[in-house]
């Protein structure tokens, strides 16, 4: 059987939330696209897991696929849930903390 992490998904209809699985006490990621113009990465966070405050050199669009999380941008906390998205601007400190088990798709737009 083919490794699902390396499967070519081009031209296929997929459910993004089904492409990354929860693991207890962990954050799991899977990169779907890596191009000069940007990246698309899926993440699955177990409840209580998170990414500490950091910056990125590009704008990032966080799309919530499942669950709920707190996203902090420049010190302001935002609650997000499935079906919502938030744009994190380049070079601005941000963090993500899963309030429940939480899946997201992160789209980085390179300039």
Which structural domain, as residue segments, surrounds residue 46? 17-109
What pLDDT score does 74 carry? Answer: 97
In this predicted model, what pLDDT tens digit does every residue of 52-82 receive, in sequence order? 999 999 999 999 999 999 999 999 999 999 9
- Confidence check: pLDDT of 4 > 60: no
Q: In the predicted model, what is the mean pLDDT of residues 94-99?
A: 98
Query: Quick check: is 8 in a domain?
Result: no
Query: Quick check: is 2 in a domain?
Result: no
What pLDDT score does 82 carry? Answer: 97
In terms of residues, how long is the chain?
111
Helix (H, G, I), strand (E, B) or coil at 39: strand
Query: Quick check: is 83 in a domain?
Result: yes
Q: Which residue is it, tokens 């006490």?
A: 25
Edge-first strand order for the sheet with 85-88 is 27-35, 38-45, 102-109, 59-66, 85-88
Q: Is the pTM of this model over 0.95?
A: no
Per-residue confidence at 111, pLDDT binned at 50, 70, 90?
Answer: confident
* Count of structural domains, the chain: 1
In this predicted model, what pLDDT tens digit does every residue of 74-96 receive, in sequence order? 999 999 999 999 999 999 999 99
Query: Quick check: is 1 in a domain?
Result: no
Task: Indicate which CATH number applies to the domain containing 102.
Answer: 2.60.120.10
pLDDT above 70 covers a percentage of the chain that reads 95
């Amino acid at each position: 059987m083919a490794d699902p992490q390396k499967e070519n998904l081009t031209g296929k209809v997929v459910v993004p939330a089904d492409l990354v699985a929860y693991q207890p006490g962990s954050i799991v990621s899977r990169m779907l696209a890596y191009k000069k113009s940007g990246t698309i990465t899926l993440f699955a966070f177990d409840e209580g897991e998170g990414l500490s405050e950091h910056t990125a050199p590009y704008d990032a669009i966080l799309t919530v696929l499942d669950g709920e999380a707190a996203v902090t941008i420049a010190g302001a906390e935002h609650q997000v849930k499935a079906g919502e998205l938030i744009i994190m601007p380049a070079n601005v400190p941000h963090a993500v903390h899963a309030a429940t088990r939480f899946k997201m798709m992160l789209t980085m737009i390179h300039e």
